[in-house]
Amino acid sequence: MSDVASISGEWRALSSLRLGEGGKVRVIDGGRFMTQRMSMLGIRPGIEVRVVHGPGKRGAVLQVDGARIALGRGVVERIRVEKSPCADVSAYAQGGRS
């Protein structure tokens, strides 16, 4: 991961974020079924999410508003986000939108 990419805020796979980093969901790949499955849980374009566990081999746990959503690896790779500029790793314990 180059520094340029993280500064410019281009869209990237959720799996490339690090623990504690957050981003705005931009695209969810995988068709209507997948989009609906995600929006059910509050994950949809425009929403701010934060990685509170992982990402790892299992996938990642996201903080989405007041909820924690566990996503398997296969899902995490299909969500592309725009990384939030100020990622504070120590803040991963904090909930809510930033």
Partner 1 sequence: MSACHESDNALAPVSAQGGPVIALAGNPNCGKTTLFNLLTGAHQHVGNWPGVTVEQRRGQASLAGGKASIVDLPGVYSLLGGGGEDQSVARDFLLEGKVDLVVNIVDASNLERHLALTAELLETGRPVLLVLNMVDEARANGLEPRVAELSAALGVPVVPMVARTGRGKRDLLEVLGRALEALPKPVAVDYPQAVEEALRALAATLEGSAASRRFEGLRLLEGAAEAKTVIVRDVLRAVEERVFATTGEAVADVLADTRFGWAHELAEHAIRRGGKVGMRQRVTAVLDHVALHEWLGVPVFLLVLYLVFVVSFSGGNIFLDFFDRASAALLINGVGHVLYTLGLPAWLVSVVAGGLGGGLNLVIAFIPPIGLTFLFLAFLDDSGYMARAAYAMDRLMRRLGLPGNSLVPMVIGFGCNVPAIMGSRIIEDPRGRMLTVLMQPFMSCSARLTIYMAFAVVFFRSNGGQVVFLLYVLGIVVALLTAWLLGKTAVRGEALPFVMELPPYRLPSVRSVLLQSWQRLKVFMFRVGRVIAVIGLVLFILPGIGWTGKGLQTTDIDHSLLAQGSRALVPVFEPMGIKENNWPAVSGLIAGAAAKEIVIGTLNGIYQRQNAADLMAAYRHPDIGGQLVDALKTIPANALTFITTLNDPLGLSDLDSTQATEQASGADSATLKAIAAGFTPLSALAYLVFVLLYVPCASTMGALRREVGWGWMVFSMLYGIGLGWGAGTVIYQVGTFAQHSESSAFWIGGVSAAFALLIVGLRLYGNARPDGSLLGAAS
The verdict on 1 binding partner 1 (CB under 8 A) reads no
Strand ranges in the chain using DSSP code E only, listed in sequence order:
11-13, 22-28, 48-53, 59-64, 67-72, 79-83
Write out the binding residues for partner 1, residues 5-44 only, by CB under 8 A.
33, 36-42, 44
The verdict on 61 binding partner 1 (CB under 8 A) reads yes
Report residue 7 as tokens: 């500064």
Write out the binding residues for partner 1, residues 76-95 only, by CB under 8 A.
92-95
Dihedral of the alpha carbons of 90, 94, 96, 97, in degrees to the nearest 10: -10
Q: Is 38 left (phi over 0), alpha (psi -120 to 50) or beta?
A: alpha
Distance CA 7, CA 44 (A): 23
- By CB under 8 A, name the one of 23, 25, 51, 59 that touches partner 1: 59
Task: Report, in Å, the least distance between residue 27 CB and partner 1.
Answer: 13
Tell me whether residue 6 or residue 35 sits nearer to partner 1 (CB atom): 35
Task: Report, in Å, the least distance between residue 11 CB and partner 1.
Answer: 19
- By CB under 8 A, name the one of 64, 79, 81, 87 that touches partner 1: 64
